[in-house]
């Protein structure tokens, strides 16, 4: 099958493939350079370092392939969106090697023309990522495709300017690092001087502090003795007050509560359907007007089955008025029968 026929078949799907080709190839380039993908800056080059020579546009391994192998490799590379990367295994290098062997093949020329813009975009992206070796490789491919490409001078100038900017930034960073280190050393010296002055001040005040601490201990012991004496007097007064209040307090508790209205609790429907029985011990406080002012569950068997209905019932109970609030306990039984 001729290269023209292969390329024509490829161009049927090329509009779709090449739309995403730049992004796909850019991802491959990033994966090939873990340090760049991780955001790790390259080590700054010395200011006197000479720029590295540009890599060849077509690797020697590709140049050594025959035309049939180059056609097959170029077609496969296009199918897999390897337009310009990785180096030594991409469609641009395969087509350039084919053009060297078949300079008059229109299919090869057309393929290089179609793929050139994507290679240019990739080169600009490499410059933006400061991947200058890759940018120079792509620039060499562009120059080999078309030495008179309008964008080529601008691309080379952009590579050189970006490399210079990176070198200047490295120098600036190094200068800043040195300045920061000097500032750090000065700060350490200042802190050491302050620490020495503080130690001297602490030594001068040590005797006075010891005297103050001793006086504070004596005063604390005196205050603690007074506090304990006051606490003992207060405890004695509370005990006497409790004794005096015990007799009168028993009278209200001994009052007899006379019920006026004690409506029965509502039987929970679920317990009724299941035939569950039980009882709830509630503690209630009856106010002077005979109404229940407070109620709580002390014990319930079974737990949390009849509690709510028992509390709802006793809160509606009414008793005859009493002289003072009375707290008592009542057991409420629940039986489905």
CA distance 107 to 71: 11
Output the tens digit of pLDDT for each of the chain's 337 residues.
333 333 344 443 343 334 334 444 444 444 444 444 444 444 444 444 555 566 789 999 999 999 999 999 999 999 999 999 899 999 999 999 999 999 999 999 999 999 999 999 999 999 999 999 999 999 999 999 999 999 999 999 999 999 999 999 999 999 999 999 999 999 999 999 999 999 989 988 889 998 899 988 888 888 898 888 888 877 877 776 665 554 444 444 457 899 999 999 999 999 999 999 999 999 999 999 999 999 999 999 999 999 999 999 999 999 999 999 999 999 999 998 7
* Domains in the chain: boundaries: 3-149, 259-334
For the domain 259-334, what is the CATH superfamily, name and number? TonB (3.30.2420.10)
Tokens of 270: 């679920």
Measured CA distances, 103 to 5, 31, 50, 215, 328 (Å): 17, 34, 35, 106, 113
Burial of 315 (0-12, 13-18, 19+ CB in 10 A): middle
Are the CB atoms for 278 and 307 separated by under 8 Å? no
Q: What is the pTM of this model?
A: 0.44
Closest CA to 323 of 253, 270, 273: 253
């Amino acid at each position: 099958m001729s290269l023209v026929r292969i390329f024509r078949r490829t161009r049927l799907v090329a509009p779709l493939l090449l739309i995403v080709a730049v992004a796909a190839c850019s991802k491959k380039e990033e994966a090939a350079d873990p340090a760049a993908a991780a955001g790790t800056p390259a080590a700054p080059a010395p200011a006197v370092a000479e720029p590295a020579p540009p890599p060849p546009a077509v690797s020697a391994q590709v140049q050594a392939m025959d035309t049939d192998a180059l056609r097959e490799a170029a077609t496969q590379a296009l199918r897999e969106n390897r337009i310009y990367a990785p180096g030594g295994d991409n469609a641009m290098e395969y087509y350039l090697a084919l053009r060297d062997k078949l300079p008059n093949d229109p299919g090869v020329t057309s393929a290089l023309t179609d793929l050139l813009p994507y290679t240019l975009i990739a080169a600009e992206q490499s410059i933006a990522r400061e991947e200058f070796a890759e940018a120079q490789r792509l620039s060499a491919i562009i120059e080999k495709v078309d030495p008179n490409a309008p964008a080529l001078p601008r691309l080379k100038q952009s590579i050189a300017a970006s490399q210079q900017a990176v070198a200047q930034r490295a120098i600036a960073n190094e200068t800043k690092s040195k300045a920061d280190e000097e500032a750090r050393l000065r700060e350490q010296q200042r802190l050491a001087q302050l620490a020495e002055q503080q130690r001297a001040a602490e030594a001068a005040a040590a005797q006075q502090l010891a005297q103050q601490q001793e006086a504070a201990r004596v005063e604390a012991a005196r205050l603690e003795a007074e506090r304990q004496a006051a606490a003992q007097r207060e405890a004695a007064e509370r005990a006497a007050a409790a004794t005096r209040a015990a007799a009168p307090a028993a009278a209200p508790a001994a009052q007899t509560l006379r019920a006026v209205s004690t409506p029965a609790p509502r039987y929970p429907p679920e317990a009724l359907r299941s035939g569950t029985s039980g009882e709830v011990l509630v503690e209630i406080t009856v106010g002077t007007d005979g109404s229940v002012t407070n109620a709580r569950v002390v014990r319930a068997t079974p737990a949390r089955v009849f509690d709510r209905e028992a509390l709802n019932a006793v809160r509606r109970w009414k008793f005859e008025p009493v002289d003072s609030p009375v707290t008592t306990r009542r057991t409420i039984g629940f039986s489905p029968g």
